[in-house]
């Protein structure tokens, strides 16, 4: 009787563990997917329709500064224009004032990832280019069972 009880308990534990593993939500798996997720969040912070978001994305510029080249294809798939720092400088000289995004911090370790995306305003004053921090978004991710899950809290600031 005691052996049956132990065997039954072990079977229940195996079944419950399997159900828990299979029912957990799908998380993100790579640095590229984390960076893309932060950009998607940035693009959807405002209350805009899908059409408006699509139109806005055509005008969004992201600098490649501090950005791992492996992340670029996923971001380009969102319809975002990615420029090097020198291209941003040239655009400022040619077109004047505009805003662009920069991944200010991408810190990823074994259990936690912190990614900060800033909006920078650039303008030309007396033949000198001036950059001003405009707003930012910091998102934390935690790794469980080999997958990244977004922390529900977000740090957002505007100047």
Identify whether 132 is part of a domain.
yes
Number of structural domains found in the chain = 1
Q: How confident is the model at residue 24 (pLDDT cuts 50, 70, 90)?
A: very low
Mean pLDDT of 8-22: 69
3-state secondary structure string across the chain: CHHHHHHHHHHHHHHHHHHHHHHCCCCECCHHHHHHHHHHHHHHCCCCCHHHHHHHHHCCEEECCCCCHHHHHHHHCCCCEEECHHHHHHHHHHHCCEEEEEEEEEEECCCEEEEEEEEEEEEEECCEEEEEEEEEEEEEEEEECCEEEEEEEEEEEEC
- Residue 135: which pLDDT band, with cuts at 50, 70 and 90? confident
Is residue 35 included in any domain, yes or no?
yes
Confidence of residue 21 (pLDDT cuts 50, 70, 90): low
90 occurs within a structural domain: yes
Cross-strand pairs, 117: 103, 137
**pLDDT more than 70, % of the chain:** 82
Q: Let me know if residue 76 belongs to a domain.
A: yes
Between residues 15 and 45, the one the model is more confident about: 15
User: What is the Cα Rg of the chain in Å?
Assistant: 22
Mean pLDDT of the chain: 78
pLDDT at 119: 85
pTM given for the model = 0.70
| pLDDT mean over 15-37 | 68
CA distance 18 to 96: 58
Q: Kind of pairing, strands 61-63 and 81-83?
A: parallel
Residue 11 domain flag: no
For 113, residues 6+ apart whose C-beta sits below 8 A from its C-beta are 31, 34, 106, 107, 140, 141, 142, 143, 148
Report the alpha-carbon angle 8-10-12, nearest 5.
70
| Residue 103, in any domain of the structure | yes
Q: In this predicted structure, what is the pLDDT of residue 57? A: 58
In a domain, 7, yes or no: no
CA distance 63 to 48: 24
Predicted pLDDT at 146: 84
- Residue 15 in any domain: the answer is no
Residue 152: give the domain boundaries. 28-158
- Of the spans 44-58, 71-85, 108-122, which averages the highest pLDDT? 108-122
Of the candidates 37, 152, 147, the one whose C-alpha atom is nearest the C-alpha of residue 103 is 37
């Amino acid at each position: 009787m005691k052996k049956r009880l132990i065997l039954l308990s072990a079977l229940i534990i195996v079944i419950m563990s399997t159900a828990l593993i299979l029912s957990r939500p799908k998380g993100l798996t790579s640095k590229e997917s984390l960076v893309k997720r932060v950009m998607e969040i940035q693009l959807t912070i405002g209350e805009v329709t899908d059409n408006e978001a699509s139109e806005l994305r055509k005008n969004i510029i992201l600098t490649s500064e501090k950005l791992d080249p492996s992340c670029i294809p996923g971001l380009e798939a969102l319809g975002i224009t990615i420029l090097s720092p020198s291209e941003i400088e040239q655009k400022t000289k040619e077109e004047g004032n505009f805003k662009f995004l920069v991944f200010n911090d991408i810190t990823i370790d074994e259990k936690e990832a912190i990614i900060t995306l800033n909006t920078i305003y650039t303008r030309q004053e007396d033949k000198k280019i001036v950059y001003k921090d405009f707003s930012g978004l910091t998102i934390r991710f935690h790794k469980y069972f080999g997958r990244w899950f977004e922390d529900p809290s977000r740090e957002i600031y505007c100047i």
